Chains A and B, each alone.
Chain A
Amino acid sequence: MLKTRIIPCLDVIKNKVVKGVNFKNIRVMGNAVEMAKYYSLSGADELCMLDINASYQNRKTFIKTVESIAKVINIPLTVGGGVSDLRDITDLLNAGADKVSINSAAVKNPKLIRQASLRHGSQCIVVAIDGKRYKNKMKVVIKGGREITKNELITWAKQVQSLGAGEILMTSMDTDGVQNGFDSNMLKKVTGSVSIPVIASGGVGNLEHFYLGYLTKSTGLLAASVFHSGKYKIKTVKKYLSRKGVPVRI
């Protein structure tokens, strides 16, 4: 039976894992390579890392960090943040990423999804979608939720699938960072309208939240703070889910 994937997410600046997206109060949580190694050894099913400050100078160090991480882990690695064109995707795959996640660039230029999946195969193209409720509709947002696009969430999710995305990384900006649980309602709408795997992201604060995430039919559950802060070990989460009858790799 296919197991539900538990995926720690590292928000990275250069080679450091940082907390949150609030640029004013950046807190360093640790060294990215060390943390990646730790999660791989402690039972993570995949790892996700995002360049949250992809400036030209930081980018070089970030790519070196991807290379170092790819060398020390042997679980799948998804890398995203600041991916703007085919060149960026190729660079990250060459650095050792197994999958590359595209967000704003896909919204601005949907053809990029098709070009990337034709060149590298759908299996390594993840489209990250940030969703937010706006005037009673679920919309796609970019720039960390600061810009609401014209795209309606479900239409966009279906579109990225038809353009060749192999997976959707779905973050609800209404629940992200609040630790009150995943946005079950939004996630169910998305998983119900596409047939590619969906990773749930945004809002995990306790063990039950993981279980509720599983019930949305998301096949991957992504979390950051609860792992980085040491609140839960990956094994703790998996044991809990297993007791609830969720198939996990232990």
Chain B
Amino acid sequence: MKKKVIGLIDGQSGNIGSINKAIKDIIKGRPYRLKIIKGHFNHSSFDKIILPGQGAYATLMSNLKKLKIIKPLKEYLENNSSYLGICVGMQILSDWGYEDKITRGLGVISGDIKKFRNKKLIIPHMGWNTINLNNDDTIIANSFDKKDFYFVHSYIFQNIKKSNVLAFTLYGQKFPSIVKKGNIYGVQFHPEKSHRQGLNLIKNYILKA
């Protein structure tokens, strides 16, 4: 049987060690193969792509540009291929990012990434918080309604269509914690740091999405 190929993009935005290990553990003994993407790639040779990210929107976009990943990634996403973006890897699906400087994103899910509005909040939003189901989704969101995941971020998805919000979280305001458009998923939290719940989410994505 032909193995499905999972691409893990190393956008040089934080350590990919935990997510790399999580994926390896999940696909052990299953018909999948993991390939780390560090530069230009052929978008048709991957069945799934995961992009983890930490730090700033502008930094990740400029890293991906330098690594010549933007073009094939856009082609991949335009085909509605299966994708999971984590934290900043989710944020860059938007049209624009407002962190540090205004940066154009991948423009896959319409909306902008802006700072939490409430000035009295402790920022970054750091720690475990609950996700609440907004739209039905048998693959990822349904199983995790009211479960806690680990967040660390100061910016959130705004001006997004309700139909693209799978789950939201409360921190001073409601904000999208899981977004979806077609086969493209994004999570604001870090499943790779969210203990069993997080590993289950990655597993669901890999095996079911």
Contacts and interface: CB of A to CB of B under 8 A. Distances in A.
A121 B56 contact: yes
Contacts, number: 83
A124 interface: yes
Q: Interface size class for chain B?
A: 20 to 34
B130 A123 contact: no
A197 B129 contact: no
A74 B195 contact: yes
A120 interface: yes
Nearest to A94: B15
Contacts of A196: 122-124
A219 B127 contact: yes
Contact of B193 (A75, A220, A249): A75
A220 B190 CA distance: 18
Interface of B: 14-15, 17-18, 21-22, 54-56, 59, 120-130, 148, 150, 152-153, 170-171, 190, 192-195, 198-199
Interface residues of A, number: 29
A96 B17 contact: yes
Contact of A74 (B120, B126, B198): B198
A122 B127 CA distance: 15
B124 A197 contact: yes
B121 A195 contact: yes
Given A70-B17, A74-B198, A123 B126 contact: yes
A35 B47 CA distance: 38
A205 interface: no
Interface in A63-81: 70-71, 74-76
